[in-house]
Amino acid sequence: MGYVSDKLELKGMVGSQALVAFQRSDGTMAVYSSPIKSYDTHLEQGNLSFLVYTLSAVYENDFFVIFATLGIPNNVTTVNQLWQQGPLHGNTPGMHSMSGPNLKSYGTLDFLSGKVVATGTHHSSVSTMKIAHGIMNTISWGILMPIGAIVAWNFKGFGPAWFYVHVSCQVLGSLGGIAGSVTGLMLGHKSSGIEYKGHKCIGITLMSLATVQVLARFLLWPKTGSQV
């Protein structure tokens, strides 16, 4: 499947103008145009925002090659190009993978020079944010919060210092969790139409429990030296 954006600033999937090719179950080739209006698209056939005069495709050596003559409007000579491959359900194209090379499969196409530049820069910021989101939440929920709980349960006999270590871990873990949650919300905003419900529910549950725990700790702050 190939996608051409008729506006240079358009780098996402929604709004793209697709040229679709696949081999039907009976072995014949299907090739057509499809405007992508949402992430729930099944790549239905439709007219694009620019003219497509001729359209054909071949399948050779495990590759689909699409041939098309396009009428690009408003004297546009450079466009963004995306290309994807995904599963086939009967004779209906399915959603492509949302990881790895599928998130970097785009570049710019210059019709005058014929030069194609694969950039993938659109997802670089998203990839960096995903890494930051994972690191912050791993340190917060996977390291600091458990250490704080372990200290509270096992080191009460070592003087009042246990309490301050416990509170420091819990507070820092909560702050890191908040930062990770904010990053997650930003990722959701950048990936409109894509939602990982299980991951989101787990995150909201952890954030809620941590907030209650930290607030309870401050409201029920014991006196220095308390073994409770």
Summarize the annotated binding site for heme b as residue ranges: 133, 166, 199
Annotated binding site: 133, 166, 199
Tell me if residue 164 falls in helix, strand or coil. Answer: helix
Q: Per residue in 157-170, is it b (16+ CB within 10 Å) or e — as a string? A: eeeeebbebbbebb
Q: How far apart are CA 6 and CA 20, in angstroms?
A: 16
SS (H, E, C) 25-75: CCCCEEEEEEECCCCCCCCCCCCCCCEEEEEEEEEECCEEEEEEEEECCCC
Residue 35 CA, distance from chain mean position? 21
